[in-house]
Amino acid sequence: MRNRLTFLAFLLVASLFPTTLRAQSTSQTRKYPPIEQYFMPQAEEIALAQSAAPANISGRATIKVLTKSGYEVAQKGDNGFVCMVMRGFMAPTYTPAQFRNLVYDPALRAPMCFALQAAREVLPFYELRTKLAMQGKNPDEIAEGLQAAYAKGELPQRTGVSFAYMWSADQNLGSGIGHWHPHIMVFAPYYDSSMLGGNAFGSPLPTVSDDAGTPFAVVVIPVDDNLAVKAELK
């Protein structure tokens, strides 16, 4: 019951987000670069996806690659993990507002390997974000589409905390961010940074990176740089 009430409260607040965010946006309408700029050779994409996690995990994971129809399975795994290279389409849905326009960055390459629960409950969210962006939707329209899908039950509700690896030595997280650190993504519904001690955004300490206080909140926990995994073509 508590989760249901929290969810309904989120929908009420979220209904105000698009207007607020549009008010913050510039008057200039952004356009997507040609979609071909987001693609990469499949063998390179598979190798980069596998670099998201240690080989004992990614070597047995399902690998998905980006196509003109969205993400499709390139290699079937047997351990329940799913690895893929996220593009700028994975940008925050609400906050920080300045990173929502990462959807327009065709150079962003963010290898991510979803653990079992995240593969079930979180991956569909990112796949829908990608499809909406590939349809030419702007960040406000993407947010509205996600809210509607979540409210209708077309996206899985996040029943608890789940995890993904982002350990690639070759990741490019966008202009002004670059490689950063290998890190664990923690999908922690309704978390905000005060619950983690109020660490500064972008610091090498656990913090909420995306969508604080919403069902889509993401906590990042950096790990030792020596754990980063290089992509290797096979």
Read off the pLDDT of residues 51-108 as tens digits, 9 standing for 90 and up.
Answer: 999 999 999 999 999 999 999 999 999 999 999 999 999 999 999 999 999 999 999 9
Q: What is the mean pLDDT of residues 186-202?
A: 94
pLDDT at residue 10 above 80?
no
Side chain identity at residue 72, one-letter code: E
pLDDT of the residue at 9: 53
pLDDT of the residue at 19: 41
Query: pTM score, two decimals?
Result: 0.89
- The string over 77-111, giving b where at least 16 C-beta atoms fall within 10 Å of a residue's C-beta and e elsewhere, is beeebbbbbbbbbbbbbbbeeebbbbbbbbebbbb
Q: What are the Cα distances from residue 137, in Å, to 110, 130, 134?
A: 21, 10, 7
In the structure, what pLDDT confidence band is assigned to residue 26 with cuts at 50, 70 and 90?
A: very low
User: How many percent of the chain have pLDDT more than 70?
Assistant: 88
pLDDT of the residue at 178: 83
Q: What are the Cα distances from residue 215, in Å, to 71, 75, 161?
A: 23, 30, 11
pLDDT of the residue at 45: 98
What is the Cα 114 distance to its own chain's centre? 10
pLDDT at residue 14 above 70?
no
pLDDT of the residue at 119: 98
Neighbours of 163 (CB within 10 A): 18
Strand order in the sheet with 82-86: 70-75, 62-67, 82-86, 110-114, 162-166, 183-187, 218-222, 207-210
Pairing of strands 62-67, 82-86: parallel
Q: How many residues does the chain have?
A: 234
- State the chain's mean pLDDT as an integer: 90
pLDDT of the residue at 22: 46
pLDDT of the residue at 4: 44
Q: What is the mean pLDDT of residues 188-198?
A: 96
pLDDT of the residue at 68: 96
Structure confidence by residue, pLDDT tens digits, 165-175: 999 999 999 98
Nearest CA among 47, 58, 70, 60 for reference residue 113: 58
Nearest CA among 99, 227, 108 for reference residue 174: 108
Domain boundaries, the chain: 2-26+34-227
pLDDT of the residue at 91: 96
Better-scored residue on pLDDT, 40 or 30: 40
pLDDT at residue 118 above 70?
yes
The 3-state DSSP class for residue 85 equals: strand
